[in-house]
Structures are given as C-alpha cells and as structure tokens.
C-alpha cells in the first residue's frame, strides 16, 4: 500500500518537474514572437506571456545574442522552436564552466540601493511550505503541508571568517564576479513536520500519516552564494524513510531555488529587473535544463523588497528518463513548453522569503521508445505550486 501511494507520488512529482522544465522553452519562443509583434497571443492555454523589454530580454538570453537585437523565433540564432536545446547550443548559451550569469535589464527608479544578503549564521528561521502537484487529467497529489527549519551549516575550520564576511559585505556582496570566488554559506532546510494540507474531519488515514511522518527529520542541503544564488541542492532522507519520498524533497528544493533572488552588482530601485541564467535539474524527472528567471522589483519598503519572477526553462538534450513500473524508461522530447510565475517579499536577513508563492507549468509531447516516426505523441502536463508562509504565532 505504501509502495503504491509512493509510486504515484514519485511519478506525479517527476511529471510536475518535467512540466516546469518543458513549458519554459516554448514560452521563450513565444517571448521572441511577442518582442517582434507586440500583443501577440500565447500559443498554449493559460501560459503567461512576457512582452516588451522583458520578452526581448528572455529571448536574448535564450539565444545568447547581445541586448538590443532580439532574435526572431525560428531564426538560426533564436531560441529553439521545440524548446529543446542541442548540447552544443546549450553550451553556447551558457558555457559549462559558468555556473550562472546575472544581466541587469533596467536599474529602476530613484532612490536606488545595493541589495546584499546579511544573514546571521547563527539564526534559525522557520516556514510553513505547501506543495501541490496537478497533472493533466484528474490525477494529482494531495497538497502537502511541510514545516521547515532553515539554518546555516557549521562551516569547516578556516571558512568561518570568509562566510561571515560574505554575509555582511556591502555593495561587493551582490557582485556576481566577486561571488564566484567567495565562499558560499551552507544551508540546511530540515523538515520538522509533514501532513496533508486539506483533509476531512479526522485527518489523513493512519497508513498515509505514517508514511508522511517519515519525512520528519529529512532535509535539503544547498549552497547560498554571496550574490544570494542558491545551488547544489541535495535531498537527504532518514534511513527509515521510503526512498519514494525523495521527489518531495526535490520539489521542495526546486521551490526554494525559484524563490531565492540572485542579486545584481549595481544599486537598483523600484521597477528594476534582471535576468538570471543557470542550469537546473527538474525535480523527480532528472532532466537537465537551462533556466531563465527574470526578477522584477515591484516595490521597496525599508529592508523589505517585493519581487515578482517569471521563469522559462529549456531542455538540455532530447532524452528524458522517467520512472516506470519495470524500471526507468527513456522517452524522447518532441516538443516542450515551460513557464512559471511567482511573487515574494525578500529581506536581507533571511535565507528564504518569509512569504511568497510560485507556480511552474510544463507541457510536453513525448515519443515512447521504439515508436514509429508518425506515431501519436504522449502528452505530459503538470503544474507544480508552492506557497511559503511564516508559522502562526504559538
């Protein structure tokens, strides 16, 4: 019984991750079209479109072309029509030895301020995280409610001073160049409780509650650079937990990453936005992608910055390995579209925002192994949703 429920969870999470990954590619193509023809509609249902300068920026980043000359969708230097990069194309867009890049598009209005993380390495910050996964049909996972504690890992001897300096630096802390050579803060996001978010009177069945209870004590470890870039997510389950729960932690890590804003190296004000290009792996599916996130400063009030974020993802290669009842199955991505949106309030003293939400939708056409060229494609559609909130006062 546990195995069956966990199998459904793993498959759904894998599909959800795939969905977020695939939607990004075609949406970036849509952005290039919007840049060339303002007001053009998006091809997919409920797929958000970014127009104007924002659309141009995403299209430029996806194609690797310089600012000011947005490529035409389908052109040789434009984003891939199918949403699938060739491996050489992906390397050209973001070299393998470049972990990320931050490109300021607009610095925003006055007054401007240098954004820099100033986290107390001894602090512990708690959040309630709601994860939801919806698949194309009636299938889907129940919403999961997780209590999560965020703390800095104890630095290795000799790294403490560098970590403290990175956390309290001023303008230089936001510089991508300086960040690349500075020590990252090791962060542990530990699950302190896990249950279903919405249940009828009486709560979840004991069997399900027991399975979810095994998530307690699990964690996601990751690095947080001086430029506030979250990377190297590593889920860790307790020994007694079923391995089928790991996709839950992968989804948690993905949500944390999407809502952690890398910071530019120049002062910015309200209305500023910048593009962050990096690599990611879609949770559950193990699919490498090129990810493009556009962060916009909606407003600044004291030390709190309100952000919105739009995400697009491109598959890095056409092979997708998914879990099946008799082992992994390798599918070929014929076409993929992935888009996401989020909003959150960021504070320099926090590992992650105290409140925010993000959704990531993926639609993909997949070719099963051994299928004929004219065979009908399988359709995968998944939406991953996460909400962060401060715990209620005790």
CA distance 363 to 64: 24
pLDDT at 290: 92
CA neighbor of 46 nearest in space, from 374, 360, 292? 360
Per residue in 3-42, pLDDT tens? 443 443 444 444 333 333 333 333 333 333 322 222 222 3
Domain boundaries defined on the chain: 2-389
Average pLDDT over residues 176-184: 55
CA distance 260 to 205: 35
Question: Taking 80 as the threshold, does the pLDDT of residue 271 lie above it?
Answer: yes
63 Cβ contact list (under 8 Å, min separation 6): 32, 71, 77, 78, 79, 93
H, E, C per residue of 105-128: EECCCCCCECCCCCCCCCCEEEEE
Asked whether 279 and 316 are in contact (CB, 8 A), the reply is yes
Query: The tokens 């500023």 sit on which residue?
Result: 272
Which one is predicted more confidently, 74 or 195? 195
CA angle at 217 for the pair 211 and 221, rounded to the nearest 5°: 120
CA distance 31 to 364: 18
Instruction: Give the bridge partners for 388, in sequence order.
Output: 129, 356
- Which strand (E) or helix (H) includes residue 181? helix 176-181
CA distance 21 to 96: 19
Per residue in 100-155, pLDDT tens? 999 999 999 999 999 999 998 899 999 999 998 776 554 556 688 999 999 998 75
φ/ψ (deg, to 5) at 33: -65, -40
DSSP, residue by residue, 286-309:
TEEEEEEEEEEEEEEETTEEEEEE
Calculated CA dihedral for residues 299, 301, 303, 304, nearest 10 degrees: -50
Of the pLDDT bands very low, low, confident and very high (cuts 50, 70, 90), residue 247 is confident
pLDDT at 361: 82
Question: Taking 50 as the threshold, does the pLDDT of residue 285 lie above it?
Answer: yes
Asked whether 269 and 295 are in contact (CB, 8 A), the reply is no
Query: The tokens 């300086």 sit on which residue?
Result: 178
Q: How many residues does the chain have?
A: 394
Record the tokens describing residue 352, joined without a space. Answer: 């992650």
φ/ψ (deg, to 5) at 121: -65, -15
Query: The tokens 């249902």 sit on which residue?
Result: 45
Of the pLDDT bands very low, low, confident and very high (cuts 50, 70, 90), residue 375 is confident
- Which strand (E) or helix (H) includes residue 163? helix 160-168
CA distance 277 to 101: 5
Asked whether 275 and 250 are in contact (CB, 8 A), the reply is no
Asked whether 23 and 336 are in contact (CB, 8 A), the reply is yes
DSSP, residue by residue, 322-350:
EEETTEEEEEEEEEEEEEEEEEEEE-TT-
Other CB atoms within 10 Å distance of the CB of residue 199:
15
Name which of 39-48, 177-186, 209-218, 226-235 the model is least confident about: 39-48
């Amino acid at each position: 019984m546990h195995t069956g429920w966990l199998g459904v969870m793993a498959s759904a999470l894998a599909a959800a991750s795939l969905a977020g990954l695939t939607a990004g590619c075609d949406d970036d193509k849509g952005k290039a079209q919007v840049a060339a023809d303002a007001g053009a509609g998006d091809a997919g249902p409920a797929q958000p479109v970014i127009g104007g300068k924002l659309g141009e920026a995403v299209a430029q980043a996806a194609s690797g072309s310089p600012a000011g000359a947005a490529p035409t969708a389908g052109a040789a230097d434009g984003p891939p029509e199918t949403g699938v990069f060739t491996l050489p194309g992906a390397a050209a867009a973001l070299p393998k030895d470049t972990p990320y890049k931050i490109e300021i598009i607009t610095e925003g209005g006055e007054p401007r301020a240098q954004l820099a993380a100033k986290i107390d390495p001894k602090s512990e910050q708690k959040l309630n995280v709601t994860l939801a996964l919806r698949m194309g049909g009636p299938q889907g996972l129940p919403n999961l409610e997780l209590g999560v504690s965020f703390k800095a890992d104890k630095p290795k001897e000799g790294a403490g001073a560098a970590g403290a300096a990175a956390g309290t630096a001023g303008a230089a802390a936001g510089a991508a160049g300086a960040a690349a050579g500075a020590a990252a803060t090791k962060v542990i996001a530990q699950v302190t409780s896990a249950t279903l978010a919405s249940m009828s009177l009486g709560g979840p069945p004991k069997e399900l509650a027991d399975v979810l209870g095994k998530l307690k004590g699990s964690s996601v470890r990751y690095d947080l650079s001086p430029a506030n870039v979250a990377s190297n997510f590593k889920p860790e389950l307790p020994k007694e937990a079923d391995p089928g729960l790991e996709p839950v932690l992968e989804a948690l890590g993905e949500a944390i990453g999407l809502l952690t804003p890398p910071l530019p190296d120049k002062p910015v004000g309200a209305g500023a936005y910048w593009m962050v290009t990096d690599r990611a792996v879609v949770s559950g599916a193990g699919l490498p992608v090129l990810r493009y996130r556009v962060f916009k400063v909606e407003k600044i009030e004291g030390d709190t910055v309100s952000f919105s974020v739009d995400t697009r993802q491109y598959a890095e290669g056409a092979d997708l390995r998914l879990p099946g009842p008799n082992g992994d199955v390798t599918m070929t991505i014929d076409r993929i579209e992935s888009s996401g949106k989020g909003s959150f309030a960021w504070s320099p003293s926090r590992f992650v925002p105290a409140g925010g939400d993000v959704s990531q939708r993926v639609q993909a056409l997949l070719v099963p192994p051994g299928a004929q060229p004219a065979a009908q494609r399988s359709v995968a559609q998944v939406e991953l949703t996460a909400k962060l909130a401060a715990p209620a006062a005790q």
